[in-house]
């Protein structure tokens, strides 16, 4: 069986970093990912995907990306449940990240600093290059 997902999107807010009782860092953030096509009203819709990152990578995310940052995430989809304070069972589906790649230079938004040394951490990426669409949307068969 295969459970692998790759996503490219922008953070909707700063990552939230916390530490478990044993000291293990974990960060959570949400990616906004535009859909390739517009809806009937001509507006582009987006999906909002919850991401969980563990250990050193969680700390790096908390330190070097923030709301609006463009990132690529690869990992696996995981579902879990918990009991809310009202006694109701709640279900969550999220992506547990194996890799998070920072796709923009931090200097791009004039905050200075920079990302930790990673081969592709400071490379700017044009989403049209990653997901080219040939022709007009009206020409698509669906």
* pLDDT tens-digit readout, 8-50: 999 999 999 999 999 999 999 999 999 888 888 888 899 999 9
> For the whole prediction, is pTM greater than 0.85?
no
C-alpha–C-alpha distance, residues 41 and 51, integer Å:
29
Provide the 8-state DSSP code for 22: T
Q: For strands 44-54 and 16-19, give the pairing.
A: unpaired
Domain boundaries, the chain: 5-139
CATH homologous superfamily of 5-139 equals Nucleic acid-binding proteins (2.40.50.140)
> In Å, how far are 47, 122, 126 from 22, measured between CA atoms?
33, 32, 40
54/75 Cα distance (integer angstroms)? 12
Helix (H, G, I), strand (E, B) or coil at 134: coil
């Amino acid at each position: 069986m295969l459970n692998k997902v790759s996503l490219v999107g922008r953070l909707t807010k700063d990552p939230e970093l916390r530490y478990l009782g044993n000291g293990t860092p974990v960060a959570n953030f949400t990616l906004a990912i535009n859909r390739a096509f517009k809806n009937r009203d001509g507006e582009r819709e987006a999906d909002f995907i919850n991401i969980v990152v563990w250990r050193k990578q969680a700390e790096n995310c908390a330190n070097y990306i923030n709301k609006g940052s463009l990132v690529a995430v690869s990992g696996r989809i995981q579902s879990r449940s918990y009991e809310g304070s009202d006694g109701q069972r709640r279900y969550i589906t999220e992506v547990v990240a194996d890799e998070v790649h920072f796709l923009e230079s931090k200097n791009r938004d004039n905050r200075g600093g920079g990302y930790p040394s990673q081969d592709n951490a400071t490379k700017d990426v044009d989403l049209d290059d990653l997901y080219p669409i040939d022709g007009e949307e009206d020409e698509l068969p669906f």
